[in-house]
Amino acid sequence: MLHNRSIGELAAILDRREASSVELTRHFLARIEALNPALNAMISVTGAQALLEAAVADRRRGAGETGPLLGIPLIHKDIFCTDGVRTSCGSRMLDNFVAPYDATVVARLKAAGAVMLGKANMDEFAMGSSNETSFYGPVRNPWDLARVPGGSSGGSAAAVAARLAPFATATDTGGSIRQPAALTGVTGVKPTYGRVSRYGMIAFASSLDQAGIIARSAADAATVLQAMAGFDPRDSTSVDTPVPDYGSALGAPLKGLRIGLLKEFSDGLEPRNAALIAAALEVFRSLGAATLEASLPSLPLSVPTYYVVAPAECSSNLSRFDGVRFGYRCENPRDLLDLYKRSRGEGFGAEVKRRIMTGTYVLSAGYFDAYYLQAQKARQLITDEFRAAFGRVDLLLGPTTPTPAFAIGAKIDDPVTMYLNDIYTIGANLAGLPALSMPGGFIDELPMGVQLIGPHFAEGRLLNAAHQYQLATDWHDRVARGYC
């Protein structure tokens, strides 16, 4: 079936004229129509536009042009601005917002010939670990519709896991690519901060947000990252450094690679999860990698540090949504203050309000030094310890999540417990490091992920290690019942 083919296999099918991009696009649109009502993975489906883009891709191929993404369908997380298409960020605040331009990520994938099928559901303004805070309702996990897919990129992850598209764009502020990838049995890649442009990506926490990819495999993710990565003068946080050929690095042998098992990740790990990590290490040893223990003593500070820094930046970034210029506006405001209060009160959901209030508090005159400044010092400690660790090892390995996917509603009323779901992923964001999650086995018939973290701009090394692991295992080929 076409939906079970890799990006490379689909491109070869298009090259051989065994199917057209229009036919491929119709196939995936039909799957979305049939399967999405139960999953709620999509906010918008752009079927007519997709077929027009596919026809253009077919004409480009007919004229002799080739490309690994030319004519390949995708889904964009609804945090990326898309010219002429609603960009809601999963919020009532932007339910009526139609972007007048394309984000750089969108523009680069469009230039590569990828065909947008629609926009994926997400936690409101990317704030959440379960995809339950969306104004459009929770996304459901294909492996068990009563469970969450993780967040905030849960719509992207569920869509790829259910084979509604070969790949999807996503964003990661504290684990929002890797955590849902782990809980739905797909591969998620968060590049180095600054490797992929943030221009046109609606901001949550500007020093932490990073665009990335959710795909079936590391090989597919490498193909997509090749098209997305690179310097963008419109993004002040974009790093002007050459982009290597990620695909050519995939086949390199792992002999001599040093993989560190993080002590802070393994201490107290649930036994079945620990067994999966041990099994992954054994696979890497069989491939020639050396494994050793590594330690980052300040890493346990990552969760409290993140939940000071991220809300502080959120309170600043979301101040622009005031009911005046664009977005949701309350009806019949009595005066300007009433307009601000009711537009924001009615337009934002509970989790977004909680983080805005927390951020405003830690930035206030009486608490800035006690909270925000201390958090930034802890962030620097974590960054320095990662740098020191990469003097001894090439990559760090550990779990992506503490547990498999939990039931919808199980943690939504307990924010602290919810926040702890990101305990293994936040550190990489604080340090701006590249990281990925790949399928590593099952607990109670639910997928679990193995996480790899690398030094800055080591995406090629991460993808190479993950690809070799996936050649030796078949976890990434497993599909939930009913979606094969």
C-alpha pair distances (Å), 312 with each of 99, 131, 369: 26, 22, 13
The predicted structure's pLDDT at residue 479: 97
- Burial call 42-78: b when 16+ CB within 10 Å, e when fewer: bbbbbbebbbebbbbbbebbeeeeebbbbbbbbbbbb
Please indicate whether residue 77 is annotated as part of the active site: yes
Residue 268 above 90 pLDDT?
A: no
The single-letter code of the amino acid at 223 is T
Please indicate whether residue 248 is annotated as part of the active site: no
Tokens 């800055």 correspond to: 456
Comparing CA positions, the residue from 15, 140, 124, 132 lying closest to residue 78 is: 124
The predicted structure's pLDDT at residue 420: 86
Residue 267 above 90 pLDDT?
A: no
Note the pLDDT tens digit of each residue in 394-438. 999 999 999 999 999 999 999 888 988 899 999 999 999 999 999
Q: What share of the chain is helix, strand, coil (3-state, %, to 5)?
A: 45, 15, 40
Active-site entry in 20, 176, 302, 315? 176
Query: Phi/psi of residue 425, each to 5°?
Result: -105, -25
Residue 224 above 90 pLDDT?
A: yes
- Residue 214 in contact with residue 180, Cβ under 8 Å? yes
Please indicate whether residue 152 is annotated as part of the active site: yes
The predicted structure's pLDDT at residue 378: 97
Q: What is the mean pLDDT of the chain?
A: 96
- CB neighbours of 367 closer than 8 A, spacing ≥ 6? 361
Active-site entry in 20, 21, 77, 197? 77
Active-site entry in 152, 153, 302, 437? 152
3 state DSSP class of 46: coil
Is 2-257+454-477 in CATH node 3.90.1300.10? yes
What are the domain boundaries of the chain?
Answer: 2-257+454-477
User: Is this model's pTM higher than 0.85 or not?
Assistant: yes
Averaged over 47-53, what is the pLDDT? 98
Hey, how many other C-beta atoms are within 10 angstroms of the C-beta on 388?
A: 12
Q: How far apart are CA 345 and CA 333, in angstroms?
A: 13
